[in-house]
Chain A
Amino acid sequence: MRKIFAVLVICLLSACASDNAQQTSDVEDHSYSSREGEGTRGGTGSDGFGMNPLQDPGNILSRRSVYFDFDSYTVKSEYRDLVLAHAAYLRDNTNAQVLLQGNTDERGSREYNLALGQRRANSVRDILLLSGARDQQVEAVSLGEEKPRTLGDDESSWAENRRTDILYQGEY
Chain B
Amino acid sequence: MSSFWLALQHVMVIRMRNFLCCIGVFLLLWMNTSLQAALDIEIFGGGTNKIPIAIAPFNGERGLPQNISSIVSDDLKRTGLFKLVDTLGLTSEEPEQIRYIDWQGRGASVLVVGSTLLLSDGRIDIRFRLMDVVKQTQLAGFSSTVTTEQLRTFAHRIADIVYETLTGELGAFSTRIAFVRKQGSRYALQVSDYDGFNARPLIEYTEPIISPAWSPDGGRIAYTSFEKKKPVVYVQTLATRERKAVANFKGSNSAPAWSPDGSKLAVVLTLHGGSQIYLVNTDGSGLQRVSQSPGIDTEPSFSPDGKWLMFTSDRGGSPQIYRMPVSGGAAERMTFEGDYNVSPHYSPDGKRFVYIHRNAGRFSVAVQDLSTRQMQLLTDSNFDESPSFSPNNRMILYTTEISGRGILSIVSSDGQARSRLSQEAGDIREAAWGPLLKQR
Interface contact B340-A118, CB-CB below 8 Å: no
B160 within 8 A of A: no
Q: State whether A109 and B342 are in contact (beta carbons under 8 Å apart), knowing that A101-B230, A140-B270, A141-B270 are contacts in the complex.
A: yes
Cα A147 to Cα B251 with chains together (Å):
17
A101 touches B274 (CB 8 A): no
**Known pairs A140-B270, A142-B252; A108 contacts B342 (CB<8 A):** yes
Asked if B252 and A141 sit within 8 Å, CB to CB, the answer is yes
Q: Mark B251-280, 1 if CB is under 8 A from A, else 0.
A: 110110000000000001010011100000
Q: Which residue of B lies closest to A114 (CB)?
A: B254
From the candidates B226, B298, B340, B430, name the one contacting A108 in the complex (CB within 8 A): B340
Q: How far is the CA of A108 from the CA of B382 in the complex (A)?
A: 10
Q: Is B50 an interface residue (CB 8 A)?
A: no
A119, B275: Cα distance in complex, Å: 9
Q: Verify if A110 is at the interface (C-beta below 8 Å from B).
A: yes
Q: Which of A122, A139, A141 has the most CB of B within 10 A?
A: A141
B251 near A139 (CB under 8 angstroms)? yes
The answer to the question of A47 belonging to the interface, with a C-beta cut-off of 8 Å to chain B, is no
Q: Are A172 and B251 in contact (CB under 8 A)?
A: no
Measured CA separation A167–B229 after assembly (Å): 10
* B residues less than 8 Å from A122 (CB atoms): 270, 273-274
Q: Are B208 and A112 in contact (CB under 8 A)?
A: no
Question: Given the complex, which residues of B lie within 8 Å of A114, measured CB to CB?
Answer: 210, 231, 252, 254-255, 268, 275, 298
- Cβ-defined contact, A118 with B275, below 8 A: yes
B239 to chain A, nearest CB (A): 27
Give which listed residue, A99, A112, A143, A147, contacts B342 with CB less than 8 A: A112
Chain B contact patch, size range: 20 to 34
Please state if A107 and B343 are interface contacts (CB–CB under 8 Å).
Answer: no
Give the shortest distance, in Å, between A88 (CB) and chain B (any CB): 23
- Minimal beta-carbon separation of B403 from chain A (angstroms): 13
Instruction: Give the contacting residue for B312; candidates A99, A111, A144; CB below 8 A.
Output: A111
| Range class of the A interface residue count | 20 to 34
Whether a CB of chain B sits under 8 angstroms from the CB of A116 is yes
Q: In the complex the two chains form, is A111's CB within 8 Å of B255's CB?
A: yes
Q: Tell me if B17 counts as interface (CB < 8 A to partner A).
A: no
Q: Which one, B250, B251, B319, B429, contacts A112 given CB within 8 A?
A: B319
Q: Does B290 contact A (CB under 8 A)?
A: no
Q: Which residues of A contact B252 (CB under 8 A)?
A: 114, 118, 141-142
Residue of A nearest to B363 (CB): A108
A153 to chain B, nearest CB (A): 9
* Residue A146 CB within 8 A of the other chain: yes
* Among candidates A99, A116, A119, A146, residue contacting B208 with C-beta atoms closer than 8 Å: A146
For the A-B complex, the count of residue pairs with Cβ-Cβ distances under 8 Å equals 95
* Chain A: minimal CB distance from B257 (Å): 10
Chain B CB within 8 A of A115 CB = yes
A112-B319, A139-B230, A146-B226 known; A107-B210 Cβ under 8 A:
no
> Chain A residues near B343 (CB, 8 Å)?
109, 111-112
Q: Mark B152-191, 1 if CB is under 8 A from A, else 0.
A: 0000000000000000000000000000000000000000
Give the distance in Å from the alpha carbon of A107 to the alpha carbon of B340 in the complex: 11
Residue in contact with B296 in the complex, picked from A101, A108, A112, A139, CB distance below 8 Å: A112
Contacts of B251 on A, CB cut-off 8 Å?
118, 139-141
Contacts of B229 in A (CB 8 A): 99, 101, 141, 167, 172
Determine the chain A residues whose CB is within 8 A of the CB of B230 once the complex forms.
Answer: 99, 101, 139, 141-143
**Shortest Cβ distance from A23 into chain B, in angstroms?**
15
Alpha-carbon separation in the docked complex, A61 to B332 (Å): 46
Q: List A residues 112-129 near B (Cβ within 8 Å).
A: 112, 114-116, 118-119, 122
Is B211 positioned at the interface, with any CB of A under 8 Å from its CB?
Answer: yes
A99 to B356, CA, bound (A): 32
Point out residues on A near B: beta carbons under 8 Å.
99, 101, 107-112, 114-116, 118-119, 122, 139-144, 146-147, 167, 172
Complex A-B, nearest 4 residue pairs according to Cβ-Cβ distance, in ascending order: A141-B230, A115-B275, A109-B342, A146-B208
Further 5 A-B residue pairs, CB within 8 A, beyond A108-B385, A112-B343, A144-B231: A107-B363, A107-B383, A108-B356, A108-B358, A114-B254
16 A–B pairs (Cβ distance < 8 Å), ordered by A: A99-B230, A108-B340, A108-B342, A108-B356, A108-B363, A109-B312, A109-B342, A110-B386, A111-B254, A111-B255, A111-B343, A112-B296, A115-B275, A143-B231, A144-B231, A167-B229
B residues touching A (Cβ–Cβ < 8 Å)?
208, 210-211, 226, 229-231, 250-252, 254-255, 268, 270, 273-275, 296, 298-299, 312, 319, 340, 342-343, 356, 358, 363, 383, 385-386, 429-430
